[in-house]
Amino acid sequence: MDYQFVNYLWDDVVADGLDAVERLRYRSNLLGADQRITNTGGGNTSSKIVEIDPLTGEEVDVMWVKGSGGDLRTSKRENFASLYMDKFMALQKVWASAEPRGPKTKIEDEMVALYRHCVYNLNPRASSIDTPLHAFIPYRHVDHTHPISSIAIAACKDQERLTKEVFGDEVGYVKWQRPGYDLGLLMGKIASENPQYKGLIMGQHGIINWADDDKACYELSLDLIEKGARFIAQHDKGEATFGGQKYQSLGKSEREALLVELLPKLRGMVSQMNRFIGTVHVTESVLQFVNSHDAVRLAEIGTSCPDHFLRTKIKPLFIDWNPQSEDFSALLNKLESGIAQYREDYAAYYEACKHPNSPAMRDPNPRVILIPGVGLIAWGKNKSESRVTAEFYSLAVDVMRSAEAISDYQGLPRQEAFDIEYWALEEAKLRRMPAEKEFARNVVVVVGAGSGIGRATALRVAQEGAHVVCVDLNADAAQGTADMLTTIYGQGIGVAGTGISGCGSAIGLSADITQRDSVQAMLAQVILAYGGIDNVIVTAGVFVPPSKAGKISDKQWDLTFNVNVKGLYIVADEARKIWEA
Ligand SMILES: [Zn+2]
């Protein structure tokens, strides 16, 4: 096939030099490299491979499948779980003897704990809840992904009919069901009873497809995604997308000036319970959405793919502000009341959907805020999380565009969304996370971070979980410290963020603290990168040695005073302006 909507990346020269497990890792990385195929952390892949059993020395069938918490794009061999197929299949007896059994029953969650009894070769990687989706499909290789084109078809009102129209008899359909043991059994049954099927569209979720050859499985994944994308492209509404444009985008400098003034205030509004780190995401696609007539209606429906809304919450907050006719204070007022309303709606959703054993309500503040003319602002507990959140809503925008091109977009029923968001297994994952460090959720600006005490300070606060802005008169030295921190703590996950907002947990900036405009420009960059500033530490200083006669010139004295005294004052004064605003 001549692909227009996905990139064909398979290289036989590379693949043929790999063992069977590495070929699975390779296939997974290729699929994960394209956001049109799957989102960060989303989807999973598997291969059933004949291995030598360390217990008997005999050949045994082992399923290698992406483990819990992994990501296809960055997965390494150790991110895959490995399970004896015969043991895993034998678990069906446990399931069959449980009463009651079925989707969302107690036994369904309990099955997950039993997967550990099937581990091959002491592999410590925990199996994910999607493991049965792979095990019961009677083919050697299985890809489950969250492609834009597949979710779009799966999120239409007439999703089953569209699946038939787009794929004919090649792909079947299974309606939405929370992933787990029961869904795995159901999909395995459909695949066994319909040998003509090469895959299934999973309602409100994504796609799964299979083959007995791994390269064929990869190519099939691309073929099906391409097929869906072509169908959608043929129906693209062009300028009438999202009901047409209602507002115009602000120019880049106007937008950035507005964001510098807005973000610290907005961060304060959403951080009443927990402090958040922001990511600004502005693409043509996002702007087309926020500026459109349909944005109010579609934003209210919320995201569809469960992977998306676990990060974005069930819906974003859309602020219907006219960037052409309304001023900044009108925007602030609308944000104040919009966020208050959002919290009320969220509490009402929690009350209406909760079960007697549901975990307590989580932070009710919006994670995604949409502003016409400006774009998307996402919030998370750290930079990596807020980038993921921005990525996911931006993918959701593409899903909505595609779904509305071919039909009417629909979200998950509220109760289903709740049962994912407050799933006991998700809660258990949250509880297993290590406690947050002292400077977690904080943005710390260290002036003088290029060397000496400043660099040591930057390292120290980063160790305590801070997002660190390394500032120095010497730009290369500032960047050097930031690079060192990134090497230690990593760039995180999530592919989003416009300009400097696409950064990781450390950045390097240059500033001359004796010049007020230089300090202002530096702090503006910090706000665009993270949404606000929590602490400023100034370690910059100079010592000008006197001449042999013990004299110091007026010029030298000016420099000493400007850096060591006035510079501190300017930095503190400019930071105060941001905090007081
Ligand atoms: Zn999935």
CA 420 to ligand 1 centroid distance, Å: 12
CA 159 to ligand 1 centroid distance, Å: 17
CA 84 to ligand 1 centroid distance, Å: 23
Angle at 515 between CA 511 and CA 518, to 5 degrees: 40
**Is residue 428, in this structure, part of any structural domain at all?**
yes
pLDDT digits (tens, 9 = 90+) for 151-195: 999 999 999 999 999 999 999 999 999 999 999 999 999 999 999
- Looking at 409, 432, 455, the residue that finishes a domain is 432
CA 192 to ligand 1 centroid distance, Å: 21
CA 175 to ligand 1 centroid distance, Å: 13
**Is residue 241, in this structure, part of any structural domain at all?**
no
User: Does 411 share its domain with 470?
Assistant: no
User: Does 384 share its domain with 523?
Assistant: no
* pLDDT attached to residue 433: 82
Q: How many domains does the chain have?
A: 3
CA 262 to ligand 1 centroid distance, Å: 36
DSSP H helices, 321-382, are: 328-353
CA 161 to ligand 1 centroid distance, Å: 21
CA 43 to ligand 1 centroid distance, Å: 5
Question: Which DSSP category does 442 fall into?
Answer: -
User: Does 36 share its domain with 183?
Assistant: yes
CA 226 to ligand 1 centroid distance, Å: 19
Q: Is 279 left (phi over 0), alpha (psi -120 to 50) or beta?
A: beta
CA 544 to ligand 1 centroid distance, Å: 63
Q: Are 471 and 447 contacting, i.e. CB atoms less than 8 angstroms apart? A: yes
CA 548 to ligand 1 centroid distance, Å: 74
CA 70 to ligand 1 centroid distance, Å: 12
* pLDDT attached to residue 458: 98
E-state strands within 381-526:
443-447, 467-472, 506-510
Report the CATH number that the domain containing residue 328 is assigned in CATH: 3.40.225
User: Does 28 share its domain with 175?
Assistant: yes
CA 177 to ligand 1 centroid distance, Å: 11
**Is residue 177, in this structure, part of any structural domain at all?**
yes
* pLDDT attached to residue 238: 94
User: Does 178 share its domain with 205?
Assistant: yes
- Looking at 234, 263, 296, the residue that finishes a domain is 234
> First vs last Cα of the chain: how many Å apart?
57
CA 205 to ligand 1 centroid distance, Å: 6
CA 72 to ligand 1 centroid distance, Å: 12
Cα separation of 465 and 442, whole Å? 8
Question: Nearest CA to 569 among 513, 524, 520?
Answer: 513
CA 131 to ligand 1 centroid distance, Å: 11
CA 368 to ligand 1 centroid distance, Å: 22
CA 221 to ligand 1 centroid distance, Å: 14
Q: Are 371 and 319 contacting, i.e. CB atoms less than 8 angstroms apart? A: yes
DSSP H helices, 235-290, are: 252-270, 284-290
Q: How far is CA 5 from CA 121, 165, 224, 369, in A?
A: 40, 19, 11, 29
* pLDDT attached to residue 424: 82
Q: What are the residue ranges in the chain where pLDDT is below 70?
A: none
**Is residue 437, in this structure, part of any structural domain at all?**
no
User: Does 480 share its domain with 552?
Assistant: yes
Q: Beta strands 443-447 and 535-538: pairing type?
A: parallel
CA 162 to ligand 1 centroid distance, Å: 20
**Is residue 567, in this structure, part of any structural domain at all?**
yes
CA 379 to ligand 1 centroid distance, Å: 23
User: Does 197 share its domain with 56?
Assistant: yes
* pLDDT attached to residue 275: 97
CA 307 to ligand 1 centroid distance, Å: 7
CA 42 to ligand 1 centroid distance, Å: 6
Report the CATH number that the domain containing residue 449 is assigned in CATH: 3.40.50.720
CA 372 to ligand 1 centroid distance, Å: 31
User: Does 288 share its domain with 227?
Assistant: no
CA 305 to ligand 1 centroid distance, Å: 8
* pLDDT attached to residue 524: 98
CA 183 to ligand 1 centroid distance, Å: 12
Angle between helices 252-270 and 328-353 (to 10 degrees): 40
CA 182 to ligand 1 centroid distance, Å: 15
- ipTM of predicted assembly, 2 dp: 1.00
CA 71 to ligand 1 centroid distance, Å: 12
* pLDDT attached to residue 494: 87
**Is residue 378, in this structure, part of any structural domain at all?**
yes
CA 146 to ligand 1 centroid distance, Å: 6
CA 142 to ligand 1 centroid distance, Å: 13
Report the CATH number that the domain containing residue 215 is assigned in CATH: 3.40.225.10
Question: Nearest CA to 411 among 305, 318, 310?
Answer: 305
**Is residue 7, in this structure, part of any structural domain at all?**
no
Cα separation of 380 and 367, whole Å? 7
CA 329 to ligand 1 centroid distance, Å: 42
CA 375 to ligand 1 centroid distance, Å: 27
User: Does 225 share its domain with 259?
Assistant: no
pLDDT digits (tens, 9 = 90+) for 79-136: 999 999 999 999 999 999 999 999 999 999 999 999 999 999 999 999 999 999 999 9
Strand partners, 292: 245
**Is residue 1, in this structure, part of any structural domain at all?**
no
CA 39 to ligand 1 centroid distance, Å: 10
* pLDDT attached to residue 463: 97
Give the domain range for residue 214.
12-234
At 298, the amino acid letter reads L
CB burial readout 540-571, b (16+ within 10 A) else e: bbeeeeeeeeeeeeeeeeeeeebbbeebbebb
User: Does 211 share its domain with 79?
Assistant: yes
CA 130 to ligand 1 centroid distance, Å: 7
User: Does 393 share its domain with 415?
Assistant: yes
CA 377 to ligand 1 centroid distance, Å: 25
User: Does 449 share its domain with 419?
Assistant: no
Count of CB atoms situated within 10 Å of the CB of 536: 22
CA 355 to ligand 1 centroid distance, Å: 24
